[in-house]
Amino acid sequence: MQFIDLKAQYKALEKEINAGIQNVLNHGEYILGKEVAELETQLAEYVGRKYCVTCANGTDALSMVLMAWDIKAGDAVFVPSFTFMATAEVVSLRGATPVFVDINPDTFNICVNSLENAIKDTISKGELIPRAIIPVDLFGLPADYDRILPIAKKYNLLVLEDGAQGFGGTLGDKQACSFGEAATTSFFPAKPLGCYGDGGAIFTDDEGLCRVLKSIRVHGKGANKYDNVRIGLNSRLDTIQAAILLSKLKAFREYEVAARQKWAAMYTDLLKDTVKTPLIPRGYTSSFAQYTILLESEKQRDSLQKMLSENGMPSMIYYPKPLHLQTAYKNLGYTEGSLPQSEQAAKRVLSLPMHPYLGSNEIYYICNKIKHI
């Protein structure tokens, strides 16, 4: 049994993927070939944004936006503590300071009350200038943008949606990656829409921002790559990965998101009386990058994971230590108890196998074993 079965996906899409790769090998445009432009067009259309700029990975996608916004030393950027390191890391790489915010224990996404309190506290201290918020669409569920965006407007903050896990989810009639001044996603292989290496994308409706991002991804180029008008990066999605993603995007739209939601519904139906299952609020859909249950304690979680492994069932812990307690951020002065919901989640979450190519027999087997344990 696979936690994420990329081999099964490749088998289902082998003909299309191989043909796409062969086309690139035939025309030989390996960097920013026509497939990259076509992918950007299709991604923007799917998300409902005017512009999409692809890049080398999801971390660069976040970094490029912060570079374009001139986030710098002395600035505060508000990020949830219960997420992957990249969300805060990009802030630090700009010399700015991540201000960690607690989560809603029901959705695992950023808590809007904790967010506003952190903004007020930062303003009152007067040591940092509040500049931006990076909400994360964790485990496939979009964050609470209906409440986040008014808070951002109230305090004149930019919003950068980290949709690396949320791609394919929705809030009302809007797709993940359509919120805020800009949004990003990752095409790391384990993501809902993944390539066969690294890749990322940025979405925006701002033509000027789009133009700057295209400059940044090629060493800050102006009229050409030898006319450098700003400091940039070398961060381009290669054409072969774009060809692979074009094949995968078609399947993603046609049936893969629906399949993830089908298997998640089966998990929930079978486990809802045994463990705490994911809450999808009214008006939302999740792309279920992960299917994450919540156990009563760290001891129970670790015991369950061990027994599942002994029975040939993989599981993962996303994430075992919240960012505000990471050694890299010790200098910021957070201590245990600072963000209690993030700390509790880190001790109690467990993610089960989730991908479009699961089968009902596998779901029943996993759930029956969990009930037995």
Residues 140, 75, 217, 237, Cα dihedral to 10°: -20
Model confidence over 251-306: pLDDT tens digits? 999 999 999 999 999 999 999 999 999 999 999 999 999 999 999 999 999 999 99
Sequence-ordered strand ranges (E) for the chain:
51-55, 75-80, 97-101, 129-133, 158-162, 170-171, 174-175, 182-186, 200-204, 284-285, 291-294, 349-352
* Same domain? 189 vs 290: no
Number of domains in the chain: 2
Q: Are residues 330 and 349 in the same domain?
A: yes
For 171-202, give one letter per residue: b (16+ CB within 10 A) or e.
Answer: beeebbbbbbbbbbbbbbeebbbbbbebbbbb
Question: Which CATH number belongs to the domain containing residue 330 in this structure?
Answer: 3.90.1150.10
DSSP assigned state of 230: S
User: Within the chain, which residues score under 50 in pLDDT?
Assistant: none
The pLDDT of residue 225 = 87
- pLDDT at position 279 is 97
Strands 97-101 and 75-80 turn out to be: parallel
Q: Are strands 291-294 and 349-352 parallel, antiparallel or unpaired?
A: antiparallel
Beta partners for residue 136, in sequence order = 162
Among candidate residues 153, 145, 151, 188, the one with its CA nearest the CA of residue 169:
145
Domain presence at residue 167? yes
Shared-domain flag, residues 229 and 326: no
Domain extent at residue 197: 6-247
